[in-house]
Amino acid sequence: MEEGAVLEVYGEQRGGEEQIEFSIYFRGNIYTVPVGISQQIIHLKNEIEKILRYPAAQQNIDSRTFGDAE
């Protein structure tokens, strides 16, 4: 685990279908989500990292990040 990391997104092959997993390190939990929402999770991860690096960038967050999943 990387100290200070909020979450990490990575892919893993399981039974012929790709699953995307991400870990929330401060709680030590690992969650597996379907491929259909993996892009939303990756986008959210990128937005969180942007906020952590550049707090003033909060005003530039894409509102679709927090919209309803289709």
Strand intervals (E) in 1-70:
7-14, 17-24, 29-33
Distance between the two ends of the chain, CA-based, in angstroms?
A: 32
Neighbours of 14 (CB within 10 A): 10
Nearest CA-CA partner of 21 in 4, 38, 6: 38
Q: What's residue 1's pLDDT?
A: 43
pTM equals 0.36
Q: What's residue 44's pLDDT?
A: 78
Q: What's residue 16's pLDDT?
A: 57
pLDDT tens digits, 10-67: 555 556 555 555 544 434 556 566 555 666 777 777 787 777 777 665 555 555 555 5
Q: What's residue 40's pLDDT?
A: 75
Q: What's residue 26's pLDDT?
A: 39
